[in-house]
Amino acid sequence: MSDALTLAGDSFRANGFSAVDVPVLLPMEDFVRISGEEFRRRIFVTSSNRGDDWCLRPEFTIPVVRATLKTDPDGGKFCYSGRIFRNGRPGEADEVWQAGGEIIGAHDTVATDAAILAQALTLAADCGVQSPKVIVGDVALFTALLEALDIPPAWRTRLATLFGDPAKIADTLDRMEQRRFGFPGFAAHAEIIEALSRFPADKVGQLFADILSIAGVQTVGGRTTGEIAERVLEQAMLASSNGLAEDSLAAIRAFMSMHDGDHGDLPIREGAAQLKALSARIDHAAPFAAAVERFVGRLSALEAAGVDLDRLTYAAGFGRRLGYYDGFVFDLIDEANAAVGQVIGGGRYDGLLRHFGAKPGLKAIGFAVWTERFQGVGA
């Protein structure tokens, strides 16, 4: 780990990043508000004698953004290094070391996306990765597609929230195909349902939990309040709407089914070609056409930065369930040591800045280095 940690620090310093530090003990509120109540399951929580909820640092992006916007409201390039604490994946400790960097500012999105991935690839090579594979996704493509199609706002919110979980999206599309499906008693409450659907499911779930507790009901079949809320909202929206147009459903399914013949990720150039074809299929509707153009432009910028596009694949359904990634995302693995999994991961999170009152026009992207995993690739 020490070699990877040293090399990561060298990389960030060489690229003009300034080191920042954030506490190990952090207020729970930010993580629940941004990533959802379900995130609580993955982290270590404690309470003060005043009843405030705190947690051991589960990741760096949220606290680094909060801290740096206070001291540097115009943004900058910031790096960090330290331990994070959360329920780890099988075989991995719950306390691991992570280093990373964040770029915040009024920058060119495509150029900065390319620069951050080029830096990550160079660092991976320095750390011993000889056969890098980069899995690329773009959350903004999916949200732009939903905006371009004739989809009620409540359903757009629902589908966007599920992005990163292809199985749940597929199941939801199947249900949306059934017009006037769901519990019919909800149909009379369409306006209330529409309003509730604009809030995250975990917040609506907490409302339901409070109502149930008044009635003396604490649990329902072992499901969390967020899960209950998702199910109730889905049934309610189905009952109060006429479903989705067939061409809209077909377009979303076409997007989610972009893969090769073996149901694997697409070579990045083929991914761009299929995205262009889908854009033409929906008559180059403005939001989606612009997102596809940005995707293609990013490939040109990556080539200009010296990135070998043959190392990149496109995964249409790839997103992160952390509640704040809203654009380009990537995972970097070593194909020669695939069992190690992701060694570097990053992405764009422009929308997160608004949670902390950032100036209009500021954008953000970053990546994290799982330094201890490089032991498995010979670093």
What are the angstrom distances between the C-alpha of 171 and each of 185, 230, 300?
A: 22, 13, 36
- Helix 153-162 and helix 225-240: axis angle, to 10°? 150
Residue 41 CA to residue 86 CA, distance in Å, equals 9
The amino acid that residue 309 corresponds to is L
Domain with CATH 3.30.930.10 in the chain: 1-108+363-379
> How many C-beta atoms lie closer than 10 Å to residue 44's C-beta?
15
pLDDT given for residue 16 in this prediction: 97
Backbone angles phi, psi at 100, to 5 degrees: -175, 180
The per-residue pLDDT for 29 is 84
Within 10 Å of residue 155's Cβ, how many Cβ atoms? 22
Instruction: Select the CATH number that applies to the domain covering 1-108+363-379 from these four: 3.30.70.20, 1.10.10.10, 3.30.930.10, 3.20.20.370.
Output: 3.30.930.10
Residues 343/124, Cβ–Cβ less than 8 Å:
yes
Other C-beta atoms lying within 10 Å of the C-beta of residue 43: 21
DSSP 183-213: -GGGGGGHHHHHHHTTS-HHHHHHHHHHHHH
Mean pLDDT by 10 residues, the chain (379 residues): 87 97 91 76 86 91 95 97 86 89 97 98 95 96 93 79 88 74 56 69 69 63 57 60 79 91 84 97 95 98 97 93 88 91 95 93 97 77
Check if the beta carbon of residue 329 is closer than 8 Å to that of residue 346: yes
- pLDDT given at position 11: 97
Q: Which helix (H) or strand (E) holds 231?
A: helix 225-240
Q: pTM score, two decimals? A: 0.83
Give the span between the Cα atoms of 239 and 245, in whole angstroms: 16
> Whole-angstrom Cα distance, residue 332 to residue 346?
9
Q: What is the pLDDT of residue 37?
A: 67
Give the Cα separation of 208 and 158 in Å (integer): 18
pLDDT at 179: 54
